Amino acid sequence: MTKIRAVRARSISIPLDKVTSLSSRRVVERHYGVVEVEGDDGHKGIGFCYVGSGGGLLFAEAVRSLLAPVLIGEDPYRVEGLWQAMYQEALLQGRAGTVVRAISALDTAIWDRNARAAGLPLYKFLGAVKDSVPAYASGGYYVDGKTAQHLADEMGGYVDEGYSAVKMKVGRFDLAAEEERIAAVRERIGPDTILMLDANNAWSDLPTALRFARMYEQYDPYFLEEPFSPDDIDNHARLAQQIGMPVATGEIEVGRWRFMELMSKGGAAILQTDACVCGGISEFRRIAATAASFGITLCPHWFHDLHAHLVAATSNARYVEFFADDQVLNFRRLVDTQLSVRKGMIDLPQRPGLGFDFDAKALDTYAMGPWTELRFAAGKAA
């Protein structure tokens, strides 16, 4: 029987080239967590997650102290059992935040390892629905000196590259300035391009959100993303009942239970479940199956390198969020093989597993410390 003989983790910090803003916060650096899970058959898988703009060292510590001891010496094909063991071990420390993101990274690494051992691309190992998936170009961030026309040129540039769907940030400015931005974009991209709006938890009360949403509606958006805090499920539901465009959310949400509440209350027509946040590939699949029963579509958040596989293997998943450069999602600097988009479509890689590895030199450049490692030796972790 194959056993997990080594688990490694490392915390990473990559500064942004220029300070970038969302509706309610500024970002100057990104912290990531990366892991490797190796079997005694020689096959190794990788996993990763976004930790935030600070606190990255918590990730490696969560893996080293809590989670790696649960995995060492275990059968990597016992995926569901390993997920449950990690979740149970971390009940007091997690159920959300960095600890569940660490579980997500490790669960992804186990799936990746098993797919590599089988010699199959991850999406085929999971049960492929299709071999290519549509992508939307994600951008439109707030940057000092960026005018409405600059934003329109950015969004229009994506359309010129072949994207049929684009996403921009909203909710940082007052009503007039926000309308200037979206009007410029809609004029530049034309009426047939799908336009998605991301508010990043911009509002705290329903009346304010309604004022902005009703202004945005005249520009025919595909969805309004994260209007409120992820914890404010009731206001998501109230807003969804009063506007004519779909509400999308779920990128920071964790676990099937919270997603069940969100869906049961009608808080989202589109889920943006992130496998690197919610509990890994295993939990993503459970959430997707429940969403299918509600007739709800998934458009996963971030990390197109992973989510292209999951969209291709999930019948009720539609778009992959794709970042055309590495300014905002600068995780791409850690990856040795990049996905590409052709006429708005991603062709899935055919190499085993995820289809890429970490760039060792890049990891060393941005690491917050050395790899932590737990190994299986003489019947115990060492």
Catalytic residue check, 169 = yes
Lookup result for tokens 């803003």: 21
Q: Which of 31, 44, 167, 169 is the catalytic position?
A: 169
Per DSSP, helices labelled H in 127-205 are 148-160, 175-189
Residue 183 has a CB neighbour count (10 Å cut-off) of 15
Distance CA 374, CA 9 (A): 9
The alpha carbon of residue 17 and the mean position of all alpha carbons in its chain are separated, in whole angstroms, by 21
In degrees and rounded to multiples of 5, residue 65 shows phi and psi of: -85, -35
Catalytic residue check, 43 = no
Residue 162 has a CB neighbour count (10 Å cut-off) of 13
Full DSSP string of 40-66: TTS-EEEEEEEEESS-THHHHHHIIII
> Strand pairing partners for 168?
197
> Strand pairing partners for 32?
12, 50
- Sheet containing 380-381: which strands, arranged edge to edge? 44-52, 26-39, 4-21, 372-377, 380-381
Q: Which of 301, 304, 307, 309 is the catalytic position?
A: 301
Strands (E) across the chain are located at 4-21, 26-39, 44-52, 132-138, 165-169, 194-198, 223-225, 247-249, 270-271, 297-298, 320-322, 341-342, 345-347, 372-377, 380-381
User: Which residues does the annotation mark as catalytic?
Assistant: 169, 301
